[in-house]
């Protein structure tokens, strides 16, 4: 029996198997449904510079991205006259109409093409770090380029650049680009602005030159522990040329430069007890000046180089301030009390000595007295310590900074100028300050603090500008002092 269409089969079943004449007849297969849509084959050809990485063609709500060969097919397009549109980047133009019409026939593929020409949207930026002088920055500088693409999207590119090096960025967006150079060693500086606006023309190269000049880097003496034990080292302020000047296993500390920078005074236990020594600037020809059963330490030169103030425990367990000639003779006691004194520092005119005192048993304070020990006056900052004078008479010292009610206190460097109230150098977080000879910088022992300053840990030796928020890492160690 031939296979019946479904409708016939249902009729047969419904009649209990009795098929009426004419109830079911004809071919058992249905005719094919004619197509109701067509297709559009699109060819996009491109020429020029900065061509788009992809194109979008649309018609009647349908979209296609032509492939690498520029060919794409729009499918399921209704028959009739249809508009085909090509999305064009702002740096490109299309020959002829866009959109343009094409006749679509159901079941067939129509053909249409676009020819697009593009112009450059980018160029090349050449950056030159022309560097002169001595002690050039060993770490180089940082360059930051900011601009907007032709579509208005902001972009940023960064890189390092060394002294007298050239850096090339390509491509960069045509138009205005902001170029910033930063990260100088503190003995280096620009002869012009650090921020420049550079106009980059399409398909061309623009050059910006930063002229950097570096002066002789100052030398810093400090203490550091190594396999040879604690000892005195020297390093340039830019972190180069670090070397030990103490003999091995000498346990030297508390270094102080003579006013002419030709000699050092320091504390050493090389002979079995903490005593005061002097030596040449390279550590040679060391000479012991004190010889007591109790410790002597923290020497400080008078500005004329003829005397040394220092701390001694020779009169009992309480440290007091003494003065002697630079050859160890004519010992004089300046303080006589039951309070712990430390960190003596001569004023640049030699008339006063500042020092740390615990006259209030609950805290430290900085006291300024006459060079003969009379007329002590307190600096009005709580928990102040470790004073250091600049050549022009400003006094730097360490003390906690606690002004912000939302944060804890952190160790800060303060400066007192004349009769004015002390001011904190907010970016210099740490202690043990020492002035550069020109009075523009401070070297100190830096600290890194946790959030809200809950905890601060010693983080090595740093140098900060006094009049600008600039801080650089120098080396590890403690008790730094700048060479005059």
pLDDT tens digits along 205-262: 999 999 999 999 999 999 999 888 899 999 999 999 999 999 988 899 999 999 999 9
Q: Is residue 28 part of a domain?
A: no
What do you get for the CA distance between the two ends of the chain, in Å?
120
Residues 301 and 390 in one domain: yes
201 and 228 in a single domain? The answer is no
Query: Which of 7-16, 350-359, 418-427 is least confident?
Result: 7-16
33, part of any domain: no
Domain with 54 in it: 38-118
Q: Does residue 29 sit within a domain?
A: no
Domain boundary among 97, 118, 139: 118
In terms of DSSP bridges, do strands 109-118 and 38-48 run parallel, antiparallel, or are they unpaired? Answer: parallel
Question: Do the domain assignments include residue 2?
Answer: no
Query: Are 193 and 307 found together in one domain?
Result: no
pLDDT > 90? residue 295: yes
Q: Are residues 431 and 351 in the same domain?
A: yes
13 pLDDT higher than 50: no
* Cis-peptide, bond into residue 153, ω within 30° of zero: no
The candidate with the shortest Cα–Cα distance to 100, out of 159, 58, 154, is 58
Q: In the predicted model, what is the mean pLDDT of the chain?
A: 90
pLDDT in tens, 314-345: 988 789 999 999 999 999 999 998 889 999 99
- Which segment of 21-35, 180-194, 375-389, 430-444 scores lowest on mean pLDDT? 21-35
pLDDT at 32: 80
CATH number at residue 82: 2.60.40.10
* Cα gap 322→300, rounded to integer Å: 10
Q: What tokens were used for 24?
A: 């079911």
Please classify residue 187 by burial: count the beta carbons closer than 10 Å to its beta carbon, then call 0-12 exposed, 13-18 middle and 19+ buried.
Answer: buried
| Number of domains the chain contains | 3
Question: β-pairing, 423-435 with 410-416?
Answer: antiparallel
Residues 152, 84 share a domain: no
Tokens 């071919």, residue located: 27
Q: Are residues 304 and 361 in the same domain?
A: yes
Domain end point (choices 118, 145, 161): 118
Q: What 3-state class would DSSP assign to 9? A: helix
Residue 29: what pLDDT? 58
What's the pTM value of the predicted model, to 2 decimals? 0.77
Give backbone dihedrals phi and psi of 12, rounded to 5 degrees, phi first: -60, -50
Contact criterion met (CB below 8 Å) for 7 and 24:
yes
- Domain-located, residue 19: no
> Domain ends where: 157, 184, 214?
214
Model confidence band, residue 90 (pLDDT cutoffs 50, 70, 90): confident
CATH of the domain at 363: 2.120.10.30
> Does any domain span residue 101?
yes
Instruction: Render pLDDT for 386-418 as a digit per residue (tens, 0 to 9).
Output: 999 999 999 999 999 987 777 778 899 999 999
pLDDT at 360 over 90: no
- 250 in a domain, yes or no? yes
pLDDT in tens, 107-150: 999 999 999 999 998 899 999 999 999 999 999 999 999 998 87
Q: Quick check: is 17 in a domain? A: no
pLDDT above 90: percentage of residues in the chain: 75
């Amino acid at each position: 029996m031939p296979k019946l269409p479904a409708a016939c089969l249902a009729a047969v079943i419904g009649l209990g198997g009795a098929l009426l004449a004419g109830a079911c007849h004809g071919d058992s297969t249905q005719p094919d449904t004619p197509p109701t849509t067509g297709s559009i084959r699109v060819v996009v050809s491109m020429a020029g510079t900065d061509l788009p990485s992809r194109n979008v063609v649309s018609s009647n709500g349908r979209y296609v991205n032509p492939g690498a060969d520029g060919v794409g097919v729009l499918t399921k397009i209704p028959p009739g006259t249809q508009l085909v549109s090509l999305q064009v980047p702002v740096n490109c133009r299309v020959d002829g109409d866009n959109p343009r019409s094409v006749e679509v026939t159901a079941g067939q593929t129509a053909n249409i093409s676009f020819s697009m020409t593009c112009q450059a949207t980018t160029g090349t930026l050449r950056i030159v770090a022309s560097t002169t002088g001595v002690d050039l920055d060993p770490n180089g500088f940082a360059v930051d380029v900011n601009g907007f693409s032709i579509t208005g999207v902001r972009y940023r590119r960064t890189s390092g650049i060394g002294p007298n090096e050239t850096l090339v960025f390509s491509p960069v967006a045509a138009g205005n680009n902001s170029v910033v150079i930063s990260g100088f060693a503190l003995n280096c500086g620009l002869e012009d602005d650090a921020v420049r606006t550079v106009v980059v023309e399409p398909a061309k190269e623009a050059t910006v030159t930063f002229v950097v000049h570096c002066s002789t880097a100052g030398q810093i003496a400090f203490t550091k522990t190594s396999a040879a034990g604690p000892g005195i080292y020297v390093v340039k302020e830019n972190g180069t040329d670090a070397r030990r000047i103490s003999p091995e296993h000498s346990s030297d500390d508390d270094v102080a430069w003579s006013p002419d920078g030709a000699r050092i005074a320091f504390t050493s236990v090389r002979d079995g007890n903490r005593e005061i020594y002097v030596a040449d600037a390279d550590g040679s020809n060391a000479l012991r000046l004190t010889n007591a059963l109790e410790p002597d330490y923290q020497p400080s030169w008078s500005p004329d180089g003829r005397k040394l103030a220092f701390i001694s425990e020779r009169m009992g367990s309480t440290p007091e301030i003494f003065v002697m000639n630079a050859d160890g003779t004519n010992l004089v006691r300046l303080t006589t009390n039951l309070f712990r004194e430390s960190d003596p520092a001569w004023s640049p005119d030699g008339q006063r000595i500042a020092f740390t005192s615990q006259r209030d048993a609950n805290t430290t304070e900085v006291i300024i007295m006459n060079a003969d020990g009379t007329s002590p006056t307190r600096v009005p900052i709580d928990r102040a310590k470790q004073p250091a004078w600049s050549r022009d008479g400003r006094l730097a010292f360490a003390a906690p900074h606690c002004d912000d009610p939302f944060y804890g206190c952190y160790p800060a460097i303060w400066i007192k100028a004349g009769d004015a109230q002390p001011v904190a150098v907010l970016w210099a977080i740490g202690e043990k300050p020492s002035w550069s000879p020109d009075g523009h910088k401070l070297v100190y022992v830096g600290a890194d603090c946790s959030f809200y300053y809950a905890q601060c840990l010693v983080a090595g030796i740093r140098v900060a500008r006094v009049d600008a928020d600039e801080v650089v890492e120098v080396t590890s160690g403690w008790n730094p002092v700048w060479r005059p």
